[in-house]
Every structure is written in structure tokens, then in C-alpha cells.
Amino acid sequence: MQIRFRKGRDFDMGPAAANTPAAVRAVRRVGLEFRGFPGLIVDALVAEGDPLRRGQTLCVSRHHPEIAFVASAAGRVSRIRKGARRRIETIEIAVEGDEECRFDVEPAQTDDAALRALLLQSGAWVAFRTRPFGRIPAPADQPSAIFVTATAGTPLAPDPAQVLAPQLDAFARGLEALLRLTQGAVFVCQPPGPALVTPRERLRIASICGPQPCGLPGPHIHRLWPVSAQRSVWQIGYQDVAAIGDLLSTGRISVDRSISVAGPGCDRARLLRAPLGAELAGLLDETQQSEKRLISGSALTGREQRFLGRHDLEVTVMTPASDAPRGAVRGLVAWLRQSGTGATLPSEAFERLFPFDLLPVPLMRALAVGDIETVERLGGLELLEEDLALLSWRCPSGSDYGSLLRRALDRLAEERAP
Amino acid sequence: MSDAPRLWSGSEALVTLVAVSAPLVATILQQGPARLVFLALGLGLATFWHLVFARIRRRWTGWDGLVTAAIFAVLVPEALPLWQQGLALSFGLVMGDLVFGGRGRGFLSPAAVALAFALFSFPVSAGAAPGPASAIAALAGGAALLLARVLSWRVVAGFALAMAALQLLQPGWPALPGATLILGLVFLIGDPVAAACTNAGRWVYGALAGALVALLETAGGGALSSVVFAALLAGIFASLIDQGVIWDNVRRRARRQRHG
């Protein structure tokens, strides 16, 4: 199955990493950021200063204590940072030693319930995100399909075919495990080229091409298996699937991910293998570290944070925003732009950036006024924050439709909760 | 969203201001300094009303009134006394735009509202029609707006199709588009705030506006009043057209999901 998207737009953010094997990078600190998990509250099972083995449970979800977050490196808990209402925001680990936990994978090879238990306990479960709502699925949840995103989200992200080439066995084993989590189909969305896995009845391949944001799972799901209030799917990244395959064969969790470090603030784009949650500053060369903004994810959809986000495979290095523009004309233009209007100007450009069969301007208006019924009617349940990044970029009002959508989705999810 | 390569805030107003300056210059060259006096008054009025509303609302609502004043200055009949022009422009700025909270929150083109007020309240002969220089300048402005995607090509195409179809049906109808018609299409009917906001809706909206212009013109209206009132009527229907498109989209997606 081939899908070609025409709408969207690619940005020139500098050269991508060359097709060389990823250099393994040891980091001194890793951290778990909970900002990327909407609607999640966790309870810590460790305290500051505790020694840790790799794979040891750090904390569990308060609503579903079966869902565990595990340490991606051995070491010591150096800090547990709390935010508003004393919710845990980040758990930081100072890396030392190489001790690790082993998991009993025998029962999981045949028993579906044991497989779920293994994924939950080993921290692999949190790689799944549901659509609608973009949350970690409940332990007993049965999705109507699972989407494996094996497309590069942006031009700077690592090439999935290259990353997976040495891990195809593990990837196939991971897909077998995914097939046991759902009654429905497992879709593998990959770039054009040789199929990453042989398709079968419930295992389908879609090759995808098109400009940004067509590498993101949102457009794939919308085209292949649209979700609604009655029908949910899970999405997961290709490296997490390979990690599940590794776990099932070795009994040890696989924490290293191939990530790209690139962007306008970076002298040379490079491909690295670094652990989940690696400290971003540790991924740069020593000489480059001064005065950079590090974004976990792409320039449009990422977040400026200290540690690599759980779902991110890309670090964008930006130079800090320059000072006020110089020159009379540029100053005047900047001044006129600053006095923006705060309302959407419904130009045709939005349709050209939005690869969904949804109506962007009515949706943006509904989001701006917080009308969640209309958001739902216009297909808001099919979207996550990242799908609206280009609309926010283009909109003269300066609204961030991603965070408006998150608010709407959280309210809709609350209404649905039993 | 962390660090977008470029931001669009306020650029639309700038692009429109640049686009309207070409026909403005052409008109001033053709009609002499009388226009210039009114343009100055119009810009002053726009600034005044924006400041008044910024004070009432305690927030600044942008510079779009200057664009409205410039469009109005291009299209208004020159025989109109200065105070009547000022009154009409004030009405358009306030009732067409500022009472709704500024640009992008209203549903009509403020310049069209101002011109409709002027044509209704102070009927005068339209005077000398804008010459070919204005027409060429209007085309240039329209091309700039099309390139910036402020003006939708779908609206223009729908408009042209509807006019052409009506020509074919009834050959006696006005033939060549004059400068007034082009200016009205680009700056009044094509105003993204007044137009429909969905792609399918833009076709329908453009066609409706084209048909209305043709109808009003055969009914004996001048070129200016036809295009102004067509812009107003089509703008009023734009949200209804969009609702139809939304309804169709929702129904289509629901059906796809049932059978998918």
C-alpha cells in the first residue's frame, strides 16, 4: 500500500546526519521528563540518593500502578524535581556502574497476559500512546489497531531503514508481540523502499512519502484507520518495537536509541546511540556547548528541555534567538508584527499545510474559543498536539493550537472517564 | 512549538497595504491631489478609531484600519464631500470591524461596509470611472495578494466562472471587467475575513459573489454599487456556506469510519 501526501511543508534546518553508523555516546546523566505524558500522575518508589540498577522501577502511575517507569541507566537517583501540586516532573539519575535487572520472559512467549505484564513491568508499555487523547493506554485496554511509525518525522531525524538494518530480527519479534496485544491489525508505516517486514493478514505495510508533517503518525492513522470516540488505536515508534523484540529474546531491557543531533546551531549533524532520557547537553561535542538552545524533538514540534523526551529520536540544536532586529526597516516590520491582532485570519495557506481531511480554520476557531463539542465534531479526537504545529507556525494570531488542543482533549477525556 | 523559523504575525496587513498602494498611486495620479487630501484624512481617522477602541478595550488591535482606509480611498466616488466620506469610513471601521474586536473577528469587509454606507446615504453619480492604469495596478495588487495567499485563487476562479456562465446565458450583460470590478474583487470580495474559510466554501462563495455582481449590474446598478453590495451579501452568506461544508465533511468522515 502506497500513500503519497501532498500537503505540508519542509523547512530547511541545515544538513541531516550522513549515513554513517551511529557513534555510541556514554552520558553522565539521564532523566525522565513527565511533561511528555499528558494526564499522568506518578508515585515515586525510590528516594533521592538511592542506588539503582538499569531496569529498576522508578515510579508507577497513580491510576494504574501496574504501569512502571524504569531506570534507563544504572547509578544513583540524584534528584526528584517536583512542580505544581507537588507532582513529580523529572527524576534525574547520575550514571555509574553497569548493574541491571533481568526479567523472566519465558511465560511471556506464549501467554498473552504474561506478555502484557512483562511490558508493563519492564517500562516498555509507556512507549505506547493512544489515539484519541495521546495517553499511556490502560493495562487492560484492547486497541482496534496498532500503528508502528517507521517513518522519519522530519528531514533531520535518523533514517529508519538504516537504523533498523542491523535489528530487523528484533523488529520482527517485536511486531509478533504487538499482534498479540490486539484483535485488529498492526500497521507498519515506513518510507518507500524495501519492506521492513513481510506483510501478512493482520500485519500491514504502508509506504508513506510527502513533506512534513507526513512522517508523524497522525496523518497515517487518519488515512488508514481513522479513530473516534468509539474506536481507539495505539501508536509506537519503530525503535521501541525493536526494543520489545530485544527484551523478549534476552530478558534485558534495551535502552539505547539511535538519535540524530542536528540543526542550525550545530557544526556537523551526527547520528548517536544514547540511552533513553540522555541529558541533551551531554550529546554535544565539548567545543560546541556554549550558548545553544537544545530542543528534544524537531524545531516545530519539540520541547526545550534538559533530557531527551521518551518519544523523541532527534535533538535540534538552535542558536539562541538573536537580539532585536537592527536597521530602521527591519525594526519597523518587527514592530508592526508585534502588534498582531490575536485573531485568526482565515487564509487559504492553512489548508495547504494540513494533510488531514479536516477543516483547519473552523477547527482553529473552535479551539481558540474552547468549544470542545465543535472540536470533537470537527475531528479533534484524531489529532495530537504535534499535528497542529504547522498551523500554529503559520497563524498570524500567535496562538499555540497544540496546547489548546491538549486542553480540549483533556477535558473530553475527563468527561469520558467512568 | 519552540522555535519556528519564521512568524507570520501582522504580515497579512503589511502585504495588503503594499498591494493596495499600487492602485492608490494610480488613482492619485489620475485624479490629482484631492484624493491625497482624503487619504490623509482617512489614515488619520483610522488611527483615531483604533486608539479609541484600544483605550476602551485596553488592548491594541493592530494596524488593519490603515488598510481599510486605503482601500476606501481608492474606491470611493470622488464627487462625495469630504465630511460624508469621513462619516462613511468611520461607520465602516467601527461597525464593520472594531465593535467585533478587530480584524479577524468580524464577518464583513470593513471597507465594503463603509462604501455601502456611502452609496446608500449619499447617492451621487460615480463620476469618472478609474482608467486602464488603475486596472493594471489593481491586477498587480491582486497578483501580489494571490502569491501571499491572502487572496484565495478559489474565490477568484469561482467568481470568474459564475460571471462567464451568466454572460453565456444572456449575452447582453456587461462584457469587459473594468478597474472597479477588479478592485472590488481583490479587496472587498476577496477579503479573507469576509470570504468563506473552507476550500469548497471558497468556490461557492466566489461563484455567489460573481452571480450577484452580474445580477445587480443588469438590474441597473453602477459598477461600484454592484460590486459593493455583492460583497456585502456574499459575506453574509459565507458562514452559511461554511456550515454546509462542515456538515458535509462530518457526514463523509462518519460514513468512512462505518465502512472503513
Question: In this predicted model, what pLDDT tens digit does every residue of A223-278 receive, in sequence order?
Answer: 999 999 889 999 999 999 999 999 999 999 999 999 999 888 888 888 999 999 99
Distance from C-alpha of A147 to C-alpha of A227, rounded to nearest angstrom:
12
The per-residue pLDDT for range A188-209, each reduced to its tens digit, is 999 998 899 998 889 999 999 9
Q: What are phi and psi of B77, to 5 degrees?
A: -65, 135
Return the pLDDT at B60: 74
Section B141-170 average pLDDT: 90
Residue B112 lies in a domain: yes
C-alpha A158/C-alpha A155 separation (Å) is: 8
Q: How many CB atoms lie within 10 A of CB A77?
A: 19
Q: Is residue B120 part of a domain?
A: yes
Query: Does residue B1 fall inside a structural domain?
Result: no
CB contacts, 8 Å: B11 with chain A: 337, 396
Per residue in A166-180, is it b (16+ CB within 10 Å) or e — as a string?
ebeebbbbbbebbbe
Instruction: Identify any residues that bridge with A60 across adjacent strands, giving them in sequence order.
Output: A43, A68
Rounded Cα distance between B227 and B177, Å, is 11
- What's the confidence (pLDDT) of residue A328? 64
Phi-psi region of B102 (alpha: psi -120 to 50; beta: other; left: phi over 0): left
End-to-end Cα, chain B, rounded Å: 33
- Write the residue in A300, A344, A348 that is nearest to B1 by C-beta: A300
CB pair distance less than 8 Å for B103 and A402: no
Q: Are A125 and A177 in contact (CB under 8 A)?
A: no
Chain B nearest CA to A386, separation (Å): 8
Q: What is the pLDDT of residue B179?
A: 84
Task: Render pLDDT for A302-316 as a digit per residue (tens, 0 to 9).
Answer: 888 999 999 999 999
B133 vs A167, higher pLDDT: A167
**How far, in Å, CA of A384 to CA of A381, rounded?**
8
> Can you spell out the DSSP letters for A156-193?
TSPPHHHHHGGGHHHHHHHHHHHHTT-SSEEEEEE-SS
B1 contacts A400? CB cut-off 8 A: yes
Averaged confidence pLDDT in chain B: 86
pLDDT at A288 over 80: no
Cβ-defined contact of A302 to B9 (cutoff 8 Å)? no
What are A294's strand-pairing partners?
A317
The total number of structural domains that make up chain B: 1
Rg (chain B; Cα; Å): 19
Q: How far apart are the first and last CA of chain A?
A: 39
Q: For chains A and B, what is the number of CB pairs under 8 angstroms?
A: 138
- Mean pLDDT (chain A) is 89
Taking the C-alpha atoms of residue A349 and residue A357, their distance in angstroms, rounded to an integer, is 15
* Strand-pair category, A88-95 with A303-304: unpaired
- Does the distance separating the beta carbons of B60 and A343 come in below 8 Å? no
In a domain, B3, yes or no: no
- ipTM rounded to 2 decimals: 0.88
Q: What is the pTM of this model?
A: 0.89
Which structural domain range is residue B131 located in? Answer: 10-259
pLDDT score of A273: 92
Query: What chain A residue is nearest to B11 in terms of C-alpha separation?
Result: A337
d(CA A343, CA A367): 12
Residue B85 maps to a domain: yes
Query: What is the tens place of the pLDDT at every residue in B169-184?
Result: 876 655 556 888 899 9
Nearest CA in chain A to B203: A348
Amino acid present at A345: L
Query: Does residue B69 fall inside a structural domain?
Result: yes
Q: Residues of A with CB below 8 A from B16's CB? A: none
Query: Based on the number of CB atoms within 10 Å of its own CB, is A112 exposed (0-12), middle (13-18) or buried (19 or more)?
Result: exposed
Residue B4 within any structural domain of the chain: no
The pLDDT of residue A22 is: 77
Under an 8 A CB cutoff, do A396 and B9 touch? yes
Quick: pLDDT tens for B1-21: 333 334 444 567 778 888 898
Asked if the structure places residue B5 within a domain, the reply is: no
Chain A contacts of B53, Cβ < 8 Å? none
Helix then strand then coil, % of chain B, to nearest 5:
75, 0, 25
- Within 8 A of A361 by CB-CB distance, chain B residues are 197-198
